[in-house]
Chains A and B, each alone.
Chain A
Amino acid sequence: MVFTSHIFIFYFLPLTLLVYYLLPVPRNFFLLIMSYIFYGWWNPWFASLMLFASYANYVCGHVIATSPVGSVRRKRALVASIVISLTTLGFFKYFMFFENNLNAMLDVLGAGTLPVIQITLPIGISFFIFQSLSYPIDVYRGDSPPVRNFFDFACFVALFPQLIAGPIVRYNTIAEQLVQRDHTMEKFTSGVALFILGFAKKILLANQMGGPADAVFSAESPAMLDAWFGVVAYAFQIYFDFSAYSDMAIGLGRMFGFEFPRNFNAPYLSDSITDFWRRWHISLSTFLRDYLYIPLGGNRHGERRTYINLTIVMLLGGLWHGANWTFVIWGAFHGLLLAFERWRGKESVYSRLPRPLRVGITFVLVLFSWVLFRSVDISTASAYFKAMLGLASASGGSVLLDSVIYTRGNLIVMALCALLAVCGTQAHDWVEKLTVTRVVLLIGVFVLALMTMFVQAFNPFLYFQF
């Protein structure tokens, strides 16, 4: 199910809220059932995979919790949870990638190719596998207590507000809330406000920017200006799409008494790549830091090892996004820039320039990385880079691209996106102080977004594919 759908807004959400608040106990169990309905709505069979991942990690966590610290049994349980989780993720997400690359190699060697087994990628698998894996690791490290029962744990993994596209909620963040959480009108109201803002960002901004971004990225040979326009549109689409999902997730969480971590903090105001990763998909950055970078040694084994660790973490972070070499190169691009900035004392090479210029240069670097992120393959990305650099000329039907991308609607919304992206006040901050004027504005925006939803085609969130 998608948050920005008729069925969710007008049926699933009201029904879930109504029953949740009418129920005295056990509310987690009800949330668990509704979360499985929410997830299974896409394809009921996928729910069984989530159940398997949850149960496997719950059992491993239980073994860890009941085994003496330092025991072999404890270590084995941890290894088992990691192997089961990563094998599941690897099979569903990377097996076809492996098959295709193997075939490409065999083809080069003239050895013939193997038949490729088609595997459907379960939606949101990267998110729920990472979340469920965080539990045995946290328990092993002693960072969180063992969960009191399987239903609470399954509820944590499946929790529908943030199930499909995060923020990635680690078990130790939410362990206490699963047992005891506050339901106050103030919290509920701020959740509603955040949900509305996220909903509006997705429908009114991200979806509108998706049009020109898709048109340019799928064009045969865009002109230089069109290519820049397309990648800027994509930068706004992915930001307002993904941050919208996070806002809605956090807002929905608050409606049910949860407090999820903030996932974005004005990333396009970053003045270096290091700064960008403090502001973009914060829950993934911290997850990778705590569960990968630090276990790899972090910065504790000298400078050279630190740079290598940073690059490895970003490479794997790229691969986490998708089974495609474009994501690997995207990760490597960021990893190398981060390592370079670390070498310079966490400063960019342009750190002495005035802040607006630093922000501008960082944005351009991020734009180049988005080309890799958005392109279907490396050759498409390469052609796009050429177009951006003026090394390729527009030809054929691309002369018509202006009629599709420079429309009044796209120009208005892009200007609005630019304003909002550089505006220091983000949705999270804005809902902190609600006045009558802001409430009227919120409801107006909500109704406008709902009306727009009625005329838009199905448009799922970009991060659903990850």
Chain B
Amino acid sequence: MTASKRVQILLLSLFLLVIFGEGAVQAIVELGRGERPQALDLFTRTPNAANLRAYETEMEKTAWSAKALRPAMQYVRFAGYGDLGEKALLGRDGWLFYRPDVSFLLEPWPQTVATPVPQDDPLKAIVAFRDALAERGIALLVVPAPGKPSVYPDRLSARAARTHTGAHGHARAFMDRLEEAGVSCVDLFALYREARAENADAQLYLARDTHWSPVGLRMAASAVADRIRAEGWIAEGAVAYEEEVVAIQREGDVLRMVDAPRIAAEFEPEQVDCQQIIDPATGEPYRDDPASPVLVLGDSFLRIYERDEPGSAGFIAHLARELKQPVASIVSDGGASTLVRQELQRKPELLRGKKLVVWEFVERDLRFGMEGWKLVSLPNTETVAPS
């Protein structure tokens, strides 16, 4: 190698400064706060694979350099590459998409190759749940919620916009399997496709959120109510709920998952006009009734506008308005596949007097559902006192 002494010293000094500097500054910062340097935590735990991974992760998370530089680098990569990190994808016209929503559509499902953890079969779990409910005289209505890329492929992909090609495949095929197994479903995919065929700009989902808009959820609630009425599972109620328009601003959960304030600042919050459902008897926003003949299970698609701002303006309240009676509900973010049924098992009183269970889950959860699709038995309601 040819390099003058001066050049060698320059490179070595800068390199050593960088690699020694991080640990030294970190230790000084921690000692300055009166804490023991975190690096020494290594000697306080048993050196097994799990502890070493945890130690390494904690060191990375709390490093001053990473904390100081990460936001700037996230912004640089966004500005230069249009990169939003591991969780999000930048679509067209300022639309953002949740990466697992897209992966679910892109990749084969059910998985054709062996996976490290064997995948549960959602069909088995749903059919078993349907059968267990039927034994108690309760009907089940399954409502797979389309992921945003299924409804708006053109806002993600220039090719989809050019070819007017839809992207939904797995969920549609799965609903066919459900119907073959005699499970009742509501096809929101077809509903939204028709809505967009009539008006391509129909705002059924939020641009920077994974979830539906107030328009989208009203359509869903209306379709589900139509199906319930058609099947005659429950008697129609008599509550004439009122509506009140409440305007809110939403940053969008996709943007929030990017976790980069400087990137978030590049996007205006979305103005969303919600229809809050008002109980005419009290003049207060809608509230669930655990004694209702209808129990609604689902994920964050039920939480948005309902338990989030402005409240009582989500799918549950709108379904109640359509049915003219309050419903009961269990909502678990990302946990519609298994966690909601486990929660139902812990709350047997919610099953008392039920005629119908409406089970919503987002399509990607067929593959990525938290805790998979476990078989969960129904709770024993006979020992529960009436609430």
Show the binding face of A for B, using Cβ within 8 Å: 5-7, 9-11, 13-14, 18, 40-44, 185-190, 192-193, 196, 215, 218-220, 376-377, 379-380, 395-404, 407-410, 412, 431-436, 439, 442-443, 446-447, 450-452, 454-455, 457
Contact = CB atoms under 8 A, between A and B. Distances in A.
Nearest to B10: A439
B3 A435 contact: yes
A451 B71 CA distance: 10
A41 B52 CA distance: 7
A150 B376 CA distance: 58
B105 A397 contact: yes
Given A192-B11, A412-B81, A399 B153 contact: yes
B237 interface: no
Dominant secondary structure of chain B at its interface with chain A: helix
Contact of A11 (B23, B112, B153): B23
Nearest to B46: A44
A440 B23 CA distance: 23
A377 B114 CA distance: 10
Which A-B residue pairs are the 4 nearest by beta carbons? A409-B81, A397-B105, A396-B169, A434-B3
Contacts of A376: 113
B163 interface: yes
Given A189-B12, A433-B2, A443-B14, A9 B19 contact: yes
B39 A11 contact: yes
B165 to A, nearest CB: 4
Contact of A7 (B16, B59, B89, B159): B59
A446 B15 contact: yes
B29 interface: no
A400 B10 contact: no
A443 B13 CA distance: 11
A454 B157 contact: no
B10 A455 contact: no
B157 A407 contact: no
A43 B49 contact: yes
Nearest to A208: B81
Given A402-B159, A408-B80, A457 B12 contact: no
Given A6-B59, A380-B113, A452 B73 contact: yes
B352 to A, nearest CB: 42
B106 A400 contact: yes
A451 B2 CA distance: 30
Nearest to B25: A10
A186 B69 contact: no
A409 B3 contact: no
A403 B15 contact: no
B39 A400 contact: no
A400 B149 contact: yes
Contacts of B149: 397, 400
Given A376-B113, A399-B153, A400-B102, A452 B77 contact: yes
B19 A439 contact: no
A401 B304 CA distance: 29
A374 to B, nearest CB: 13
B48 A407 contact: no
Nearest to B66: A454
A272 B158 CA distance: 38
B2 A434 contact: yes
Contacts of B157: 399-403
A251 B45 CA distance: 33
A447 B18 contact: yes
Given A186-B1, A435-B3, A454-B65, A396 B105 contact: yes
